[in-house]
């Protein structure tokens, strides 16, 4: 049976590669982001492959009414929801721009929660569906010098794990994808070009998307792409929190700090 996947943040990076994977398996897609031109290019590429329909909905998920507006524009039922759109803001909390951080909370947390709230009941009624929320390895510990972003991803992970539990036996599976540093538009958008975090062991977006896609299909609750990221995430989970917070601060600092 033909399925439809709604992917937010499909105009670049991990979301774009996830959209390609869904389309390759014959799934219709609804592509969401602000950059309409990029979404249309991707839709044309996916439809050229044959057998899939790609819908484009260009909107700003930082707007408080965005999730509701998006759901009203959907072409039909959504079988798979991928809450991938998100961005980071870097810098000491006392210096970062509040307006930008509130926008980030709106995209990373509020829109994700609202879309899940609006689409999950239909999935449960149909007794099938999947939700893939893109969190981060940042979700596992506090992140000095990027405090609100790390906290937003801790929310995404916690919500996803709780919903995975609540939906057991309903035919719906909820997964959280927790990538480590990945080469995408994220670094520039977060103002992290100088950060040591992206100096080494950076994954490419396609490898992250492939692991996320496979993990979601196999019904895993938490998917951490890359052996090194899995190792670090489990180490961080069991090490003293104060120590880990200091380590993360060191990694978040800019080169030369």
Dist CA 124 CA 129 (whole Å)? 7
Sole binder of ligand NAP in the list 42, 46, 90, 107 (CB under 6 A): 107
70 binds ligand NAP (CB under 6 A): no
Name the one residue in this structure whose structure tokens are 């794990």: 161
Alpha-helix runs per DSSP H in 141-191 = 147-166, 186-189
> Which residues lie closer than 8 Å to 165 by C-beta, 6 or more apart?
none
Q: Are 84 and 14 in contact (CB under 8 A)?
A: yes
Q: Report 161-200 residues binding ligand NAP (CB under 6 A).
A: 179, 181-182, 184-186, 189
Tokens of 11: 């105009």
Annotated catalytic sites, by residue? Answer: 149
DSSP result, 53-81: -EEEEE--TTSTTHHHHHHHT-SS--SEE
Q: Which stretch binds ligand NAP (CB under 6 A): 23-31, 68-76, 83-91, 245-253?
A: 83-91
Residue ranges with strand state E in the chain: 4-8, 28-33, 54-58, 80-83, 129-134, 172-177, 182-183, 203-204, 222-223
Rank residues 10 and 120 by Cβ distance to ligand NAP and give the closer one.
Answer: 10
Q: Which stretch binds ligand NAP (CB under 6 A): 22-30, 43-51, 81-89, 242-250?
A: 81-89
From the CB of 116, what's the least distance to ligand NAP, in Å? 14
Residue of closest CB approach to ligand NAP: 13
Dist CA 60 CA 140 (whole Å)? 28
232 binds ligand NAP (CB under 6 A): no
11 binds ligand NAP (CB under 6 A): yes
Q: Report 208-227 residues binding ligand NAP (CB under 6 A).
A: none
Size of the site for ligand NAP (CB under 6 A): 28
For residue 49, what are the CA distances in angstroms to 24, 28, 54, 198, 212? 8, 12, 11, 34, 22
Q: Which stretch binds ligand NAP (CB under 6 A): 13-21, 69-77, 121-129, 224-232?
A: 13-21
Tokens of 108: 């990373």
159 binds ligand NAP (CB under 6 A): no
From the CB of 257, what's the least distance to ligand NAP, in Å? 20
Rank residues 47 and 103 by Cβ distance to ligand NAP and give the closer one.
Answer: 103
Residues in contact with ligand NAP by the rule CB under 6 A: 9-15, 33-35, 60-62, 84-87, 107, 134, 136, 179, 181-182, 184-186, 189, 205
């Amino acid at each position: 049976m033909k399925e439809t996947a709604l992917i937010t943040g499909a105009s670049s990076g991990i979301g774009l590669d996830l959209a390609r994977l869904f389309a390759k398996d014959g799934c219709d897609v609804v592509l969401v982001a602000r950059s309409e031109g990029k979404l249309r290019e991707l839709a044309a590429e996916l439809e050229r492959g044959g057998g899939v329909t790609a819908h484009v909905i260009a909107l700003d998920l930082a707007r408080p009414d965005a999730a509701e507006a998006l759901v009203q524009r959907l072409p039909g039922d959504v079988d798979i929801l991928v809450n991938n759109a998100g961005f980071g803001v870097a810098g000491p909390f006392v210096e970062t721009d509040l307006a930008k951080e509130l926008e980030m909370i709106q995209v990373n947390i509020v829109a994700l929660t609202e879309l899940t709230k609006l689409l999950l009941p239909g999935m449960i009624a149909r007794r099938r569906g999947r939700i893939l929320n893109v969190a981060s390895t940042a979700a596992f510990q506090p992140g000095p010098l990027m405090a609100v972003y790390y906290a937003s991803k801790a929310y995404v992970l916690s919500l996803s794990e709780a919903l995975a539990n609540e939906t057991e036996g309903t035919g719906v599976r909820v997964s959280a994808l927790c990538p480590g540093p990945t080469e995408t538009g994220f670094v520039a958008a977060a103002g992290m070009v100088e950060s040591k975090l992206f100096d080494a062991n950076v994954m490419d977006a396609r490898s992250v998307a492939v692991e996320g896609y496979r993990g979601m299909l196999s019904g895993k609750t938490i998917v951490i792409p890359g052996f090194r990221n899995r190792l670090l995430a489990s180490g961080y989970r069991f090490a003293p929190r104060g120590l880990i917070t200091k380590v993360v601060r060191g990694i978040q600092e800019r080169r030369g700090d």
